[in-house]
Amino acid sequence: MPLRSDLSRLRVQHSDCSVLVHLAGCEMLDEQIIPTVEAQLFGLAAELGPVNMTLDLQGVRMLTSTGLGMLVCLHKQLHAAGGRLTLCGMSDAVYEVFKVTLLTRVLDIR
């Protein structure tokens, strides 16, 4: 039975071997919000260990290079622990940032 927990910037839904994370109130993933989101995402990943995490970026309208770096580091942390990061729900504009930076070749984007 799925459990649900709330962190200040994350809405988290757990299942047996995966977790779905929605970013709450994060239209802009920029230098002001990233430290909070990063601490919560990395803390969650460390707490869960080898897990398949899907990060829903539906509400994100702008993503800076710092945000991209954070997502790459999260991908590496999850992979090193035996898990996986999948990104979903992003707008065309945000997807274009991943495409231009060639991160579509590195990250699992749905």
What domains does the chain contain, in order, with CATH numbers? Answer: 3-109 (3.30.750.24)
**Average pLDDT, stretch 52-57?**
95
Coil, helix or strand for 86? strand
Query: How high is the pLDDT of residue 66?
Result: 93
86-104 pLDDT, tens per residue? 999 999 999 999 999 999 9
Percent of the chain at pLDDT above 70? Answer: 94
Query: How high is the pLDDT of residue 15?
Result: 81
Average pLDDT, the chain: 88
59-86 pLDDT, tens per residue? 899 999 999 999 999 999 999 999 999 9
Query: How high is the pLDDT of residue 49?
Result: 85
pLDDT surpassing 70 at residue 51: yes
